[in-house]
Structure 1
């Protein structure tokens, strides 16, 4: 067990650093502003500039009142404004008779520009403001930045102590989270041992349990000739087989990080690796197809698994043809089964039903399925694992549950039944006789086209030929366009 240790000098260094931060940074104002402000009293020069900046509106109003009395023309309004990179300016409304640049020129005033129907000038008064005040806002920002950089250097000097405490806090936070979760969700303390037996009673998937109430728990057993080591789960779509495989991995993982586990009881063997082929994330940057990613995951599992490993495989082989997928999955499982009682714990969920006939008869291979119950046209999922085989996927039921139109569902049933009875597939509403007739008509048209002597001066004749020949065929399923 790892003991949390924090040296006393680390604690004292962090306390000093916290006092330094709270002394420099105005944390209260930071909640209401988008930038960090330095507290008053930290820097005398900064405080003077801030006080002057706060009195700036009053000062500019006073200058504007003095300036309006010196203007060589009458105006209803006069203001003093600040423009970055230009400085302080006198701004007056544009008079109607001012039409050209020469009209803006006034004695004792330097015309600069017109913006928003206001004429902006430089005068002796605002030039004096430029010299005495400058850009107060930027000066304040620069000074605060300098102070913050100094504080940043102080923090970096104590980074090792801070990171050590953060790491300890992370561990404590994680342990508290696991403890609270175990108490609130009724998890149990697992029993870790050096044997091969994996025996979980009433196992649950902690994430699925949050969104599925009530959650149907299931046992997880593996480790000898009686319980098996390679577990093949075949079951209908959406019946819970993938959840079962994943919850086995989650429970074993939680036990090995010192956590309680979601189960009624759990005996967990010491496990060196949890190897999985569960989900592949496509990426254009990897340069690999989904199936290539699947193969890479399986290669890691085959090359790394030991008798103390847990291997989880979900729907491997669906990224290629059924024959290739069957061959690859069978070969991998046979590779592990050759080790006898030294085979790793393997949990496989699959729809490749031919796998059941390809694997050798071995006491270490167990076949399981998820219970379902049919009630007329309805399929009820019981989410309970049992010994046996699930040779039907009930894909149409899953499709109906997902919201596909009834017309599509009926078509699924029709295609499925035709395939089972080895009948040729037909389009909806079209008989086999009609399809045969269309095929003969199309074949005749292709032959006529191939026999046509195509030369440069015969292209118009070819177009007429195609148009006339297509008019012969009346099938609504042969789509043509105007030529």
Structure 2
């Protein structure tokens, strides 16, 4: 068995191995990459693990014991690639580098852990998806409520909030589903929460459980985290996240600025089901980007703009003023075609300044990064000039944040060569003319090269060896190389240094003397260039806050210009945003399907929902006719409008929607042991308890996972309660094959019928994809089966059976009119569930009250809120 760290406890190791073990013991939770010359080496347990995970060759090295230590390694210049692969597998990696020049070291070279990379703290752009934020999240649970914080270390983007309302655990999971962190920090209590555990089982995320002490915010720099005694939970989650990032980066990146919480009530809520069913960022079928709403909408030119647009799509607004401000910005760009096109052309190919800012803050940028920064700054003056006539307030604010950093640009232009090497210690970084001392050393070095060429020619003539060469390597320095066929011509003044298969290598006193001068000058030149570069890097860091503002401005301009381009090319219109609960869409189109198909072949449709007689549409029609497409398209139009985009319609008036619920599709939840029907009913229960009068419900085939009578009864009851203003009364699209539900339009106020038109001729059906008023009694199921390729014998037999069934039932369908009225004394399960839910809500509100911290006016305000909740419970009871 190979040696492990446990095997060597208490043993006397070699000095280098003692150093390795000491550093490894500082972070036993990490894989240690230990720098040895041009390689990062791994020993003992880490070597065994990494060799297996990355398929590297496992070798051995002397460690001072009789048995050799397991070892594997990777070249230092390719280390980031291997580190990324390990981090993607969920491992943490500690990088132990040389912190002194090996040539200047006395004895063992000093090494220290200089950086720790975890799944959530990656800053290398090559290892990240440039189109989305890469979050590390922190959750702090106290009682039944939570604090949440999330940060993309690579950009400095930080979000935090408290989840204090009813069903806080569900809200937390909805937010985590939006953020999709690749690493999660959580306190002990939170790690035992069943809702969180269920979500973690479904998502492959690295989890670190920390003690509550780690979440105490008291000693966090107030310039970063400022809070009062009345702020609850979000400071705890934020404190842990800040502390963890600082611990792993060995400093807090300077691109993480002051933290402010966001309020959930400012944004439309979308749960996991809605995000999946609406295919916002990936399709349901194969989880591909193509075919998603984002695929259609993202016309950005930079990775910064792409990330911002994604965040808008995943978190639509609820504030009408904020939505109108975004729409104004899109309209401004839409009206100014030339300005928009010039802006997009200037933004095209622009370097990711947002993520570059992280490396600037950490001090890890190289010369190529700074050349990329220079190229960004070079475009700012002309971009500002191009955009000076924009009139939207939002765009004017963004343009004013575009700082050309003229002094910084001049410094970078004067100091750095246009195509510098990646290495910072081997010279060739600084331009000629920037520093006199650099120029002097470089002159010595260049003249030394001329001398070497002259010396080589002179020695050829003196010895008569025509193929004599003067060469250089890091081991021997400069040497004279002579083929073996010419060895009889070698003069006595040459000193043999090395024998190879075909050549001999020599030095001379004259060459050695010149080498000392040349290499001395070259080393001094390299050291000086690195010193100057470090000074330049520090000056860049001093501009970090304004560089971040510029990055945010570029991202915003890119996102708005992209939305305007989308509206222009796809003939989108500006939606009207209202504060009522109406929804009117004329000639609406599905944004994805109308893009995938020719617009001339896609059939647009209208929708009109109001607060009176048209709250709930019961939609009937055959499979494949377009019911699901129609319902989804209207939900997507609402979402697009509230994210600040123009929409695919002839006109649209959107009454603000606080939450979109979807119940579509069928799938077992095998992991939690739930059947298709149980999953469906769980989602229905969530909708019935969490929806409000301002929500939009998309319900497809409620009740189909059980027997006909049970399914129809459940669907009927659900629809009754949704339509009832005293219970919910929200805007709803309800697709069903239970044609009996169309009777509800005559029995319940607010419900109306619609159907998908079908043309039937000589036994053939054609889907017209048109929404028409009224219900329909035919689902054309057998015809759909035939179109799907079911064998003709099966289709024929099905027709015989349906004719027999109709004959047996004398052509009648189920009738619910007599049984629709609730019997006296009968328990109303939905109302009971709602009452329990409201009671839990009232109890939760009371539990959150801290009398000692409340002012009299706050106490009166809270008492008023509690009275309103109690009155609502009485009215519903």
Asked if TM exceeds 0.5, the reply is yes
Q: Number of aligned residue pairs: give it.
A: 397
Equivalent residues in 2 for 1:126-205, closer than 5 Å: 126-134=511-519, 143-205=528-590
Structure 1 residue aligned with 2:434, among 32, 35, 42? 42
Structure 2: unaligned runs, 5 residues or longer:
1-320, 326-392, 803-877
Farther off after superposition, 121-130 or 216-225: 121-130
Structure 2 residue aligned with 1:210, among 595, 607, 616? 595
Cα separation, 2, equivalents of 1:17 and 1:187? 42
User: Which residue matches 2:609?
Assistant: 222
Q: Deviations over 1:340-368 (max 9, x none)?
A: 68333233557xx3586699664544554
SS at match of 1:172: helix
Change in Cα spacing, 1:225 to 1:422, as seen in structure 2 (3 Å) is same
SS at match of 1:262: coil
Confirm or deny: 8 A CA contact 1:13 1:161 kept in the other structure: no
User: Which residue matches 2:194?
Assistant: none
Structure 2 residue aligned with 1:307, among 656, 670, 693? 693
Cα separation, 1, equivalents of 2:429 and 2:583? 59
Confirm or deny: 8 A CA contact 2:585 2:608 kept in the other structure: yes
Give the superposition deviation at 1:308: 0.6
- Taking only aligned residues, the RMSD between alpha carbons, in angstroms, comes to 4.9
Q: Deviations over 1:197-220 (max 9, x none)?
A: 211111122333233221321112
Say if 2:446 is the partner of 1:65: no
SS at match of 1:95: helix
Change in Cα spacing, 1:329 to 1:216, as seen in structure 2 (3 Å) is farther
Q: Deviations over 1:178-230 (max 9, x none)?
A: 33433443333322222222111111223332332213211122234533425
Confirm or deny: 8 A CA contact 1:112 1:122 kept in the other structure: no
Confirm or deny: 8 A CA contact 1:223 1:345 kept in the other structure: yes
User: Which residue matches 2:779?
Assistant: 391
Structure 1: unaligned runs, 5 residues or longer:
99-103, 400-408, 424-483
Give the superposition deviation at 1:267: 1.6
Q: Deviations over 1:345-400 (max 9, x none)?
A: 233557xx35866996645445544334456797644332234456245555665x
SS at match of 2:431: coil
Say if 2:407 is the partner of 1:21: no
Q: Deviations over 1:2-61 (max 9, x none)?
A: 54475999777833333333333344x47xx87895433223343345555666654432
Q: Deviations over 1:68-125 (max 9, x none)?
A: 4566xx6441112222344223222243999xxxxx998732332527x444334434
Say if 2:480 is the partner of 1:93: no
SS at match of 2:595: helix
SS at match of 1:342: coil
Equivalent residues in 2 for 1:361-440, closer than 5 Å: 362-373=748-759, 380-387=766-773, 388-389=775-776, 391-392=779-780, 396=785, 399=788, 409=789, 411=791, 413-415=792-794, 418=797
Cα separation, 1, equivalents of 2:611 and 2:585? 15
Q: Which has the higher contact order (CA 8 A, sep 6+)?
A: 1
Confirm or deny: 8 A CA contact 1:230 1:346 kept in the other structure: yes
Cα separation, 1, equivalents of 2:506 and 2:713? 83
SS at match of 2:500: strand
Give the superposition deviation at 1:309: 1.3
Farther off after superposition, 323-332 or 356-365: 323-332
SS at match of 2:519: coil
SS at match of 2:770: strand
Change in Cα spacing, 1:57 to 1:187, as seen in structure 2 (3 Å) is same
Change in Cα spacing, 1:397 to 1:45, as seen in structure 2 (3 Å) is farther
Farther off after superposition, 293-302 or 207-216: 293-302
Confirm or deny: 8 A CA contact 2:448 2:518 kept in the other structure: no
Cα separation, 2, equivalents of 1:106 and 1:192? 95
Give the superposition deviation at 1:127: 3.0
Change in Cα spacing, 1:44 to 1:263, as seen in structure 2 (3 Å) is same
Equivalent residues in 2 for 1:223-302, closer than 5 Å: 223-224=610-611, 226-232=613-619, 234-237=621-624, 239-276=625-662, 301-302=687-688
User: Which residue matches 1:343?
Assistant: 729
TM-score by length of 2: 0.38
Change in Cα spacing, 1:54 to 1:105, as seen in structure 2 (3 Å) is closer
Confirm or deny: 8 A CA contact 1:340 1:364 kept in the other structure: no
Cα separation, 2, equivalents of 1:57 and 1:281? 73
Give the superposition deviation at 1:150: 2.9
TM-score by length of 1: 0.63
Which structure's CA Rg is the greater one? 1
Give the superposition deviation at 1:269: 0.6
Cα separation, 2, equivalents of 1:294 and 1:54? 77
Give the superposition deviation at 1:310: 1.8
